[in-house]
Amino acid sequence: MASLDQYQDKYRHIRMERRNGILQMTFHTDGGELQWGGGPHTEFPQAFADVGSDSENRIVIMTGSGEAFSGPQGTAAGTPKRAPAQWDQTYWEGKRLLTNLLDIEVPMISAINGPALRHSEIPLLCDIVLASETAAFQDSGHFMSGLVPGDGMHIVYPMLLGVNRGRYFLLTGQRIEAQEAKTLGLVNEVLPQADLLPRAWELAEQMAQQSDIVLRYSRVAMTQVVKKLMHDILGYGLALEGLGSADTMLNQ
């Protein structure tokens, strides 16, 4: 079992603070908006494992720093181009990124403080999803940048939007703004930026009135179907993404 003092300052891209059993994870790069890349891709799976193995965490709030939840906008030039052997680490981390997140067995709230242009499936896997009025969702790092959307995007968006809308979103680079995201069922509430974190804490404190067992088992019950999907096809999607990455490298 982990304890907060063991992992609180362990990660360069995650700031952590806990009050009365409620852990807030703030994603960032050098104190500013999170810039997705190798660092977060390596850190997040281990961080989620640490958080999930700490029995003192009763509720988790996930948010970003600055004006965006995650970026930068993906481009073809920034798409990873790797041979299969080089892709192995990405494959290993990619599976654990989402499975370790789903293995956090307490309720999770995401407070999406701005555009989520990279790995926007991460906050959408929380149990309650709040968004600022400036939030937006896009998969800019995969198909529109020359890469197969196989690292969980191919599961989460068709699951949440419906199969046809999800495939359209992934194949066209569609950007969904906050109010439309609420209408489509991606988020539960849209709030002014200043009200976002206070609302997340209000909901967390409300849920924290329940017992530890009820909190944990509610999360387990409601994520079981999603975990089964991840178990069945996440690794396959990552393998296909790796083949696409190798093809891009060979055809440069």
What tens digit of pLDDT does each residue of 137-158 get? Answer: 999 989 988 899 999 999 999 9
pTM (two decimals): 0.94
- Looking at the structure of the chain, the number of domains it has is 1
Domain containing 236 — which CATH number?
3.90.226.10
Catalytic residue positions, numbered: 121
Structural domain including 98 reads 4-250
The span from the CA of 181 to the CA of 169, in Å, is 12
Q: State residue 228's pLDDT score.
A: 97
State the pLDDT at residue 244: 87
User: Tokens representing 108?
Assistant: 């999770």
pLDDT, tens only, 54-81: 999 999 999 999 999 998 876 666 566 6
* Tokens 């017992």, residue located: 211
Rounded CA separation 69/72 (Å) = 10
Read off the pLDDT of residues 194-236 as tens digits, 9 standing for 90 and up: 999 999 999 999 999 999 999 999 999 999 999 999 999 999 9
Average pLDDT over residues 82-101: 90
CA 26 – CA 116 distance, rounded (Å): 14
Are the CB atoms for 16 and 8 separated by under 8 Å?
yes
Spatial CA neighbour of 72 closest among 165, 160, 138, 2: 138
